[in-house]
Structure 1
Amino acid sequence: MLAELSIKNFAIIESLTVSFEKGLTVLTGETGAGKSIIIDAVHLLVGGRGSSEFVRYGEKRAELEGLFLLDDEKHPCIDRCNDFGIDTSDGMIVLRRDISSSGKSICRINGKLVTIGILREIGQMIIDIHGQHDNQELMNEENHWKLLDQFGSGKINHALASYREIYNTYAKLVKKIKQLSENEQEMAHRLDLIQFQLEEIEKADLKIKEDERLMEEKSQISNFEKIFESLQNSYNALHGEQRGLDYIGHSMSQLEEVSAINDSLKEMSETISNCYYMLEDLSFQIRNELDQLEFDPERLNEIETRLGEITHLKRKYGQDVEEILEYAAAIEEEIDTIQNRDSHLFKLKNELDSLVKDLIVEAKNVTAVRKKSAAELTKQIQRELKELYMEKTKFEVVFSVRQGSKDAPQIDGVPAKFGENGVDETEFYISTNPGEPLKPLSKIASGGELSRIMLAMKSIFSKHQGVTSIIFDEVDTGVSGRVAQAIAEKIYKVSVGSQVLCITHLPQVAAMADTHLFISKETVKGRTKTSVKPLLEEEKIKEVGRMIAGVEVTDLTKQHAKELLALADTVKSL
């Protein structure tokens, strides 16, 4: 949920900090007081398009900051933040955006600088802004399959997983066949190139970890004098009369004479004996190392030359010897494939023909599962619309096969274009009047009808989208009477599962609020200033009365406001 919003030097807002609670929060006030400006600030905070026009006149920059609390430890935005190296261990996400008077933006998430793209991606996962004219993904048919898959996520994801196993193999085979079917002149050039590369690598006769061993040997030869001197001094310190081992041996003999007296002396005697023999063995190793040391300047030149050769190959074929050898194996296989292209093509096409049969079966299964989810979605949408007094409205999810090229595999007689998510194209169709044909959602209705349809869909999809907050910006425009009451109840129903912020001019919606914020503006020293005030019970009655009657609030209006608030409390308690 959005816990706190801080706005500074944004449009007519000089400085404003607003705290939000769970449930339904309504924002009301006179037209032009700044209600939509607050929503605009949130929109920019989650990656909306910025402009220097948003910066308050006479100021250098606007500052926007929002604190979001994540109750769900498995919220998808946490994994996405981790992908970008953003710490979310405390379950909080702080989004910040500064917009300069030149129009440039600086974005941060939990203090880490991010691009506007990352801010938008994370922001859209935790808050959804829906305005009267901003229909977002619901009005974009390209997003309808995503919404359907979110609605039926369990069964659809299972079907997609089985489909994708085959599709990934299919996509690789198609790519190989395409590469082998390229024009012969290009293939000949490619063959000449990789044959030359393979010959160059084979000629080098590389060995695994050879570069590491050579670097170690180079270091030893280059530091010969230092190594020799250190080993010699170390050996001399241990061996000979009045040397380290001599003193330790004397100590060992002294303790052996008294070790039988008690266990403590025996333990000390054994410990120093072990140390003596370990050091003696180590001194022999140092002696052997000294005997084997040899300074060979010619060998150093050989190593330098070999390392230079390996470095040259690394620049062309890989970061280390292992990668170079892996690349050699890959191009060796490619050479064989090109030289025997016809036989490989024949084999690959047979594999593809066999695979396509399985792919079609799995694609049809994904479609079948989606259609079952679409039927359930249709029932729920119809039920929601009925509650909004649109019982004669018809809703349907229309399916079609995404068309591919003429030679593509066919599904139900249509050349299909297979993709990672199947072959389905889905679009929401709707008819708002009896006798009228179903039409695409993006082309239907206006005003109040559109508001109710959007609200019905939000009531369903908000449960499946994972957003922590939903903002409705005057979605109740164009409705009144019993429809207004139905919309108020529907918005409240959405807020039970998600935090909802709603700008409204309907007293029915305001009465349903858990928290009522009043937005006002005043002129101070010649400048407009916007303020936000949480309303107490009496103030809420007065504001709902103003929304019912207009400017003048009479005792009768207050009585109507009290009745409306009492009705809202009754509805909320059900």
Structure 2
Amino acid sequence: MLTELSIKDFAIIDQVSIHFKEGLTVLTGETGAGKSIIIDAIQLLSGSRGSVEFVRHGTDKADIEGLFTVEKHHPVFSKGERYGVEIEEEGMIVLQRTITSQGKSICRVNGKLVTLGILKEFGSSLIDIHSQHETQSLMDPERHIELLDLYARDELERTLADYTMLYNQLSTLRKRYKELSENEQEMAQRLDLLEFQFRELQEAELSPLEDEQLTDERQKLMNYEKLYQGIHDAYYALYGEQRGLDWLGHAMASLEGASNYDSQVEKLSEEMTNSYYLVEELSFQLSAQMAELEFDPDRLDFIESRLNELNRLKKKYGQTVEDMLEYMSRIEEEIDEIRNKDSYLSRLQTEIEECGEDAVLEAKHLHDIRKSASQQLINSIHDELKDLYLEKAAFDVGFNVKEGNTTDPTINGKPVKLHKKGMDIISFLITTNPGEPLKEIHKTASGGELSRIMLALKRIFSKHQGVTSVIFDEVDTGVSGRVAQAIAEKIYGISEGSQVLCISHLPQVAAMADTHVRIEKKIDNDRTSTVVKELSDKDKADEISRMITGAELTATTVEHAKELLSLANKHKQNA
């Protein structure tokens, strides 16, 4: 959940720190007080585009910081590992966004600088924002297959992974077939280039780890005098009369003479003896090393020349000798493919057909799983729509397949066009008026109906999405009466599974809040700023009363507000 939000010098907000709680938090206030500005700030934390317009007039930068807490197995942990962002076991994630007056955007996750794209990945795992515009986005037909797959994720996961592997393999094979078969001139030029590169690498006679070994040897030759002097001094400090070994020998002999009288001294004598022979062996090794050292200026010149050659090749073929050898192996295979193009094309065609057949089988399996899940989804959405007084509405999931061409794999003798998620083209269909045919949602529903349909979908899909905070920005616009009460109950239902933040002008929604926050605008020293205040029980009733009348409080509206709060509490107890 979003635990803490800190905003500084953002639009008309001077400085605000809001502590959020679990359940449903409703934000209310007059139009223009800054409610949507707070949602804008949260959207920036989730990776939306920034603008210098967000920076408060007269300041250098706008700062936004959000503290989130997640459970141990939340997907954000894997994102942290992928991008090197440390997330402690307590599951605390801090997203930070700074926008300067020059238009620069600085993003951090747990203190680590990240790109806007990475911030967006983290934000999308933590926050799900729905506004009136987002309602339209949710109705986008291209997203419907994603939503259906999300609903059937547990059943689809393994099959979708198998299909994705086959689809990627098929795409790679087709791309290679196209490259080899389409342009003879390009292939001839490609072959000339590859043969030149192969000859150049072959003539270089590369050896694995050659660059590392030569670099080590060059280091020794360039520091020959220091090496020799160090080994020489160490050896003569140990070996010879009145030197280290001589004195260790005296110490060893002295302890041997005393070891017969004390067991502790006997142990020390043994350790001294072992140390003597270890140091003696070390002196022999130093002597051998000193004898092997030899300065060869011709060898140093050769190494310098060879390393220069390897560095020249690295600029063209890879960062290491191993990379160059791997590249050489790859182009050797490609040269063979181009030289024997006809036989290779024939083999590729066979592989494409076999891979296509396997991919179609997995796509058919995906279709069957989606078909089964779609019926469950239809039943669930019908139940939700009834609660929202759309009991006459009919919902369905449309399945279509795009016809392929003669080179595409076939099902029942007909070619089908596969895509990244299979062969299905999914569309959500609805009719809200009996007797009218089913049509795509975005072509049928009115604004108020869209709000209710979106909430029905959100009520179902929020259980599967795994985000910690769901945010609604005036999605209840255009409804009233019993529909408003039904929407309030649905929003509260979503908050039972995840934290919900909701900007609303409906008293029914405000009454359902676990936490009610009022956003006010004040003017101090000719500057406008936003103030955030968490309401007490009495303040809640007064605020809801104002929402009902839009004017002065009256005894009747206050009683009405208290009744709404009482009904909301009863609903929560029975939920």
Q: TM-score, length-normalised on structure 1?
A: 0.93
Change in 2 beyond 3 A, CA 1:295/1:413: same
Change in 2 beyond 3 A, CA 1:98/1:218: closer
- 1:40-88 Cα offsets, whole Å, 9 max, x none, are 3323332333333333344444333322222x12222232234333332
1:257 and 1:287 map into 2 onto residues whose CA distance is 31
* Counterpart residue identity of residue 355, structure 1: C
Q: TM-score, length-normalised on structure 2?
A: 0.93
Report the counterpart of residue 109 of structure 2 in structure 1: 109
Report the counterpart of residue 153 of structure 1 in structure 2: 153
- 1:358-396 Cα offsets, whole Å, 9 max, x none, are 221111101111121111111111110011111111111
SS of equivalent residue, structure 2 residue 233: helix
Report the counterpart of residue 373 of structure 1 in structure 2: 373
Report the counterpart of residue 508 of structure 2 in structure 1: 508
Matches within 5 A, 1:290-329: 290-329=290-329
Report the counterpart of residue 84 of structure 1 in structure 2: 83
Q: Is the 8 A contact 2:210 2:321 kept in 1?
A: yes
**Distance apart, 1:240 and its partner CA:** 2.6
SS of equivalent residue, structure 2 residue 47: coil
Q: Is the 8 A contact 1:159 1:369 kept in 2?
A: no
Change in 2 beyond 3 A, CA 1:30/1:231: closer
* Counterpart residue identity of residue 241, structure 2: E
Q: Is the 8 A contact 1:385 1:456 kept in 2?
A: yes
1:118 and 1:60 map into 2 onto residues whose CA distance is 25
Report the counterpart of residue 123 of structure 1 in structure 2: 123
SS of equivalent residue, structure 2 residue 516: strand
1:217 aligns to 2:204 (yes or no): no
Report the counterpart of residue 26 of structure 2 in structure 1: 26
Q: Is the 8 A contact 2:231 2:286 kept in 1?
A: yes
2:211 and 2:99 map into 1 onto residues whose CA distance is 52
Matches within 5 A, 1:460-475: 460-475=460-475
- 1:220-258 Cα offsets, whole Å, 9 max, x none, are 332333333333333322233222222222222222233
1:47 and 1:27 map into 2 onto residues whose CA distance is 22
2:95 and 2:216 map into 1 onto residues whose CA distance is 50
**Distance apart, 1:136 and its partner CA:** 5.5
Report the counterpart of residue 446 of structure 2 in structure 1: 446
* Counterpart residue identity of residue 545, structure 2: G
2:534 and 2:92 map into 1 onto residues whose CA distance is 24
Shifted more, 460-469 versus 8-17: the winner is 8-17
2:334 and 2:84 map into 1 onto residues whose CA distance is 38
Report the counterpart of residue 523 of structure 1 in structure 2: 523
Report the counterpart of residue 226 of structure 2 in structure 1: 226
SS of equivalent residue, structure 1 residue 455: helix
* Counterpart residue identity of residue 82, structure 2: D
Q: Is the 8 A contact 1:11 1:54 kept in 2?
A: yes
2:342 and 2:218 map into 1 onto residues whose CA distance is 50
- 1:105-151 Cα offsets, whole Å, 9 max, x none, are 33333333333333333222211221223326412222211111111
Shifted more, 388-397 versus 100-109: the winner is 100-109
Matches within 5 A, 1:50-69: 50-69=50-69
Shifted more, 48-57 versus 484-493: the winner is 48-57
Q: Is the 8 A contact 1:130 1:136 kept in 2?
A: no
1:427 and 1:571 map into 2 onto residues whose CA distance is 35
Report the counterpart of residue 336 of structure 1 in structure 2: 336
Shifted more, 364-373 versus 96-105: the winner is 96-105
Give the number of aligned pairs. 573
Change in 2 beyond 3 A, CA 1:27/1:407: same
Report the counterpart of residue 186 of structure 1 in structure 2: 186
Shifted more, 412-421 versus 290-299: the winner is 412-421
Report the counterpart of residue 38 of structure 1 in structure 2: 38
1:447 and 1:206 map into 2 onto residues whose CA distance is 70
1:173 aligns to 2:173 (yes or no): yes
Q: Is the 8 A contact 2:470 2:501 kept in 1?
A: yes
Report the counterpart of residue 278 of structure 1 in structure 2: 278
1:104 and 1:331 map into 2 onto residues whose CA distance is 44
1:498 aligns to 2:495 (yes or no): no
2:64 and 2:49 map into 1 onto residues whose CA distance is 14
- 1:261-282 Cα offsets, whole Å, 9 max, x none, are 3322222222222222222222
1:234 and 1:69 map into 2 onto residues whose CA distance is 59
**Distance apart, 1:3 and its partner CA:** 1.8
SS of equivalent residue, structure 1 residue 27: strand
SS of equivalent residue, structure 2 residue 496: helix
Shifted more, 16-25 versus 254-263: the winner is 254-263
**Distance apart, 1:403 and its partner CA:** 5.0
Root-mean-square deviation over aligned CA pairs: 2.3
**Distance apart, 1:102 and its partner CA:** 4.5
Structure 1 runs not aligned, ≥5 long = none
* Counterpart residue identity of residue 77, structure 1: V
**Distance apart, 1:19 and its partner CA:** 1.9
